[in-house]
Amino acid sequence: MACRKHYNAYDDNFKATAVALSEIPGVLVMHVAEALDIHEVML
């Protein structure tokens, strides 16, 4: 039987902030994801 992985749940405020940060001109999504400790695919 496979082990179930634990996934973090992010609130709407965190999600909105992450998207807003990634839309700033000149800011790389990779750097935003790294700063927020999430994978860049999640943005």
pLDDT for 8 = 75
Q: For the purposes of burial, counting CB atoms within 10 Å of the CB of 35, is it exposed (0-12), middle (13-18) or buried (19 or more)? A: exposed
Residue 26 one-letter amino acid:
G
43 neighbors 31 (Cβ within 8 angstroms): no
Kindly report the three-state secondary structure assignment for every residue of the chain.
CCCCCCCCCCCHHHHHHHHHHHCCCCCCHHHHHHHHCCCHHHC
pLDDT for 2 = 67
pLDDT tens per residue across span 1-43: 567 677 778 999 999 999 999 999 999 999 999 999 999 898 8
pLDDT for 7 = 73
pLDDT for 34 = 94
Evaluate if pTM is beyond 0.85.
no
